[in-house]
Amino acid sequence: MSFISLNIAEPILKSLAEEGYTEPTPIQSQAIPVALKGTDILGCAQTGTGKTAAFAIPILQNLSARKSGNQNRKIRSLIVTPTRELAIQIDESFQNYGRHTGLNGTVIFGGVNQKSQVKKLHRGIDILTATPGRLLDLMNQGYITLNDIEIFVLDEADRMLDMGFIHDVKKIIAALPRKRQTLFFSATMPPEIVKLANSILTNPVSVHVTPESPTVDAIRQALYYVDKGNKKNLLIDVLKDDAITSALVFTRTKHGANKVVKMLKESNIGAEAIHGNKSQAARQQALGNFKDQVTRVLVATDIAARGIDVDELQYVINYEIPNIPETYIHRIGRTGRAGSDGTALSFCDALEKVFLRDIEKLIGKKIPVVEGHDYPLTDHNPPPPEQQQHRPPRSGNRNGSGHGRNAGSNGTNGSSKNRMHTRSGASSNSTNGGTGGAAGRNGEVSRNSGNDSTGNSRHSSSNPSKPVDKKRRWGRR
């Protein structure tokens, strides 16, 4: 199937050809015809499936076909996404696909001064991509009204829930016109997300697409049991393998990320952190350094990592086991992309075994354990239940990351030019006990990995130290 067969308008086909895209991904071939008809969509799709183009293309086509003669442009399509990096990437996708449509758009998110964002809004736009917090801020200040929204997209709905944005999302939805088209996307469908979808969709068509090979099967996984106090030593030992030229290390907290970076630097291992307390410019510089292989190790929180998209990332290392099972899938899905191999290593202490059980239940298999490494678990007995850490509710706080953050990216501008997505891992090999990296003495791990980042778009700034220019107008009058 080609994009031509999807009845896409010539200006958009021209843009797709300029980007080198000819063949739609499964979610694009399913969702685009439905969305072009104005029908609501309930989409279940993971990172790397080409989801962004699946809603961006029909939005551009339908809005350009219904152009208003009014010189004062009003916001007619709203895309709400959980993190600033993902918001930037989505806006860049609209720029890429809509450059010949005459439509205008912009992106707003927290963590930066709102002045330039408000200025662009005053000029008039057709399409707005936003994170929930900044959107509500500008709505409350009277800079944004949603009365003219024709098409609403809620992207990464499950991450909205995880990050505590669900109440903000409900406030935004309450301000939308009742008559509208709604496109709802989520990688997972927990009960609260299903309930939300049912409340805002009207006779939706369900689109369910998984990556070409399931994330957990396409990535080599290995588990290290280790005492909490020895995780830093184990990480240094793993990274002594010079074959590991790039690794994304996950922590649960921003403070933890900073501690890991400090520890690695003290061991002469190049590392930078990316999390919600970092400025936008600092984040983009750290990400740019990592993609350019100036920095070998990037340490990130789950929320910050939603903006990371690196096609040839070798390793994902779970320095701390995530307390939400779906987060494990999001983490390891950053590796093994674009046909490359991927390896995910997980460090599990006694307290984290309960989280590990939930993860293995979700993925439907045991993660192979690396035996014989230098820092085995000695404290097998966690403290009594009342002393254990508990999982926060899904609707917990925002983890201090501000109004919009980093996140995931869907990689529709991926490196594969014939498919508008980044594969979540072509080489599917399950690991055995020796698949654990340099610290595993019973075997070696082959190099690999991938990750998801804002740097997917070809129109990203070539200088990672410079913040993205929000003043640029991507439509032609």
pLDDT in tens, 106-152: 999 998 999 999 999 999 999 999 999 999 999 999 999 999 999 99
The pLDDT tens digits for 52-62 are 999 999 999 99
Task: Give, in degrees to the nearest 5, the angle at Cα 143 between 142 and 147.
Answer: 80
Structure tokens at 359: 């993860």
Task: Please give the pLDDT value at position 339.
Answer: 61
Task: Please give the pLDDT value at position 305.
Answer: 72
Task: Please give the pLDDT value at position 125.
Answer: 96
Contacts of 237 (CB under 8 A, 6+ apart): 373, 374, 375, 438, 439
Domains (range + CATH), the chain: 4-209 (3.40.50.300), 215-456 (3.40.50.300)
Residues across the chain? 477
Cα 241 off chain centre by: 28
Averaged pLDDT for residues 333-339? 73
Residue 454 predicted with pLDDT over 70: no
Averaged pLDDT for residues 24-42? 95
Q: Which of 30-34, 173-177, 223-227, 421-425 has the lowest mean pLDDT?
A: 421-425
Identify any residues that bridge with 107 across adjacent strands, giving them in sequence order: 129
Q: Cα separations (Å) of 37 from 179, 205, 235, 272? A: 15, 11, 52, 46
Task: Please give the pLDDT value at position 315.
Answer: 94
Residue scoring higher pLDDT (127 or 25): 127
Structure tokens at 396: 């917990």
Task: Please give the pLDDT value at position 391.
Answer: 41
Task: Please give the pLDDT value at position 73.
Answer: 85
From CA 108, how far away is CA 461, in angstroms rounded?
17
Task: Please give the pLDDT value at position 407.
Answer: 36
The closest alpha carbon to 359, from 407, 386, 324, 332, belongs to 324
Task: Please give the pLDDT value at position 23.
Answer: 87
pLDDT-derived band of residue 273, with 50, 70 and 90 as boundaries? very high
The pLDDT tens digits for 179-205 are 999 999 998 888 999 999 999 999 999
Residue found by looking up tokens 């805002």 in the block? 200
Q: Any idea of the CA torsion for 465, 108, 125, 51, to the nearest 10 degrees?
A: 90
